[in-house]
Amino acid sequence: MPAGRSSTKRVGGEHGPGANGKGGHGDGGHGNGTPVTSGQGSGQRRPGQSAPAALPAGIDSVLGVLLSSAVVLDSEDRVLRASAAAREFGLVEDDRLVVGELLALVRQVRREGATREGEIDVMTSRFGGRATSFAVRVAPLGGSVGEAGLVLLLAEDQTESRRVDEVRRDFVANISHELKTPVGALALLAETVEEAAHDPEAVLRFAGRMRQEASRLTDLVQDLIMLSRIQAAEPVPDPTPVKLDAVIAEALDRCRMKANARGIVLESTGERGVSIMGDEDLLVTALRNLLENAVAYSPDKTRVQVQVRRADASTAAVTVTDQGIGIPEHELERIFERFYRVDPARSRATGGTGLGLAIVKHVIQAHGGKVTVWSKEGGGSTFTLLLPMRPSRVLPTVSTDHAKARSVREAVK
């Protein structure tokens, strides 16, 4: 079975047949010590098959330094040279180009002698069968046209750039909406207050709503400012020793009022005296965002737990575990994107800006760490902050019952 197949085609040219298997099977060996492989078979040619065409001088060296997937084909559609990337993406197998649409484009270029460009989505083996987007450029090699011509195929993986463009478009659309909502509400409330000028109770009620919308707008602007400061993925400029005990205590204090209003218990367990090098205010903000999310998405009268432990000799792990509604598995990859909400209605009802988890990710990256998440619908979520640890003396754990400490999730059930 071919390793790759096309799913969506956006290229010009005729539809040629799929890979037809012309030519003997190649040995896949490396040529000239470069990451370019030869597709020429080691056995004898089949009847009626011509000898492989000679490649222009220096072609192996050129292909060896290209980051794109590069393939050179002869007049019988045999792959003479293929870069390692082309084989890794599953575009080439032995001496065959296995993506039918690319092969059709190659044949069109060989007939016309003109360079063609386009875009194509290919189901590749590299990412477990997921579609990979390529920007494709096919050109005659050496100026030859017709049956004797060699053709060069270049395929640039643009999956990530497309994702970034999509996130950027979403960001522009979302920030416009997020700013428009409170601003529009303020304008409407101001108009209502004017009309109710002779009703003191109504004025007080609408003034309270205006404060809420103004506070929401302030939070959004502050989050945007903070995100713009930290999203460059640069290290914290002036790190200082930070005690995680103090970070956790401050973050818990800032969330306790909201939690108490719904009967949610906030608790801290784990090792004491663990320190890292970083920015205490940023770390408090990141942990507060996780706690506020946990409270917002948890049922009343449940528990949210923060635990500190040593992941290894040089890394501290801070976990935030809740008994909330959980996150669908297909949403997990996107929850750290700006303005992405699993449940938009709940997020807006609780005053969320949609930037909390994006801020968490960038704060932890700025400290040289990473954030991971485990979640199950209906079974709660666990966010883990992994941070490079400053050498410190570790005091005894809060809980002396080691059996209970074996699992963070068991501790909150």
Task: Kindly write down the DSSP assignment for every residue of 112-136, as one continuous string.
Answer: H---EEEEEEEE-TTTTT-EEEEEE
What local confidence, expressed as pLDDT, does residue 393 receive? Answer: 41
State the DSSP H helix or E strand holding residue 365, giving kind and residue range, or none if neither: helix 356-366
CA 312/CA 302 separation, integer angstroms = 30
What is the pTM for the complete model shown?
0.52
Answer whether 153's CB lies under 8 Å from 329's CB.
no
Helices 356-366, 280-296: inter-axial angle, 10-degree rounding: 150
Residue-level pLDDT at 316:
94
Q: Are 139 and 110 in contact (CB under 8 A)?
A: no
Q: Which run of H or E residues covers position 242?
A: strand 240-243
What's residue 36's pLDDT? 53
Residue 392 per-residue DSSP state: -
Which structural domains are found in the chain, ordered by start?
5-157 (3.30.450.20), 159-230 (1.10.287.130), 233-412 (3.30.565.10)
Read off the pLDDT of each residue in 238-252 and give the average, rounded to a whole number.
92
The closest of 124, 125, 123, 121 to 135, measured between CA atoms, is 121
pLDDT on residue 280: 93
Does position 213 have pLDDT exceeding 60, yes or no? yes
pLDDT greater than 70 at residue 231: no
Q: What is the pLDDT of residue 290?
A: 94
Instruction: State percent of the chain over pLDDT 70.
Output: 72
* pLDDT per residue as tens digits for the range 335-373: 887 777 766 555 555 556 678 898 999 999 999 999 999
Are β-strands 240-243 and 131-141 bridged in parallel, bridged antiparallel, or unpaired?
Answer: unpaired
Tens of pLDDT, residues 32-70: 333 555 554 434 445 555 555 666 666 777 777 777 788
What is the pLDDT, as a whole number, of residue 44?
45
Average pLDDT over residues 71-86: 86
* pLDDT at position 329 over 60: yes
The token duo for 353 is: 């800006």
Closest to 81 (Cα-Cα) out of 148, 26, 22, 24:
26
Q: Which two tokens stand for residue 389?
A: 């640890």
* Alpha-helix residue ranges (DSSP H) falling in 297-343: none
Does residue 68 contact residue 154 with C-beta atoms inside 8 Å? yes
From CA 101, how far away is CA 11, in angstroms rounded? 8
Return the pLDDT at 289.
92
* Average of per-residue pLDDT values in the chain: 76
Instruction: Show Cβ contacts of residue 39 under 8 Å, excluding neighbours closer than 6 positions.
Output: 23, 26, 78, 79, 80, 81, 82, 92, 94, 95, 96
List the one residue out of 405, 372, 374 whose CA is nearest residue 386. Answer: 372
User: What's 395's DSSP letter?
Assistant: B
- Please compute the mean of the pLDDT values over residues 134-143 and round it to a whole number: 82
Residue 78 is classified by DSSP as -
Q: How do strand 275-278 and strand 240-243 relate by DSSP bridges?
A: antiparallel
pLDDT in tens, 146-197: 445 788 889 888 888 888 788 778 777 777 777 787 788 888 888 888 888 8
Q: What is the pLDDT of residue 29?
A: 39
Per the DSSP assignment, residues forming a β-bridge with 79 are 73
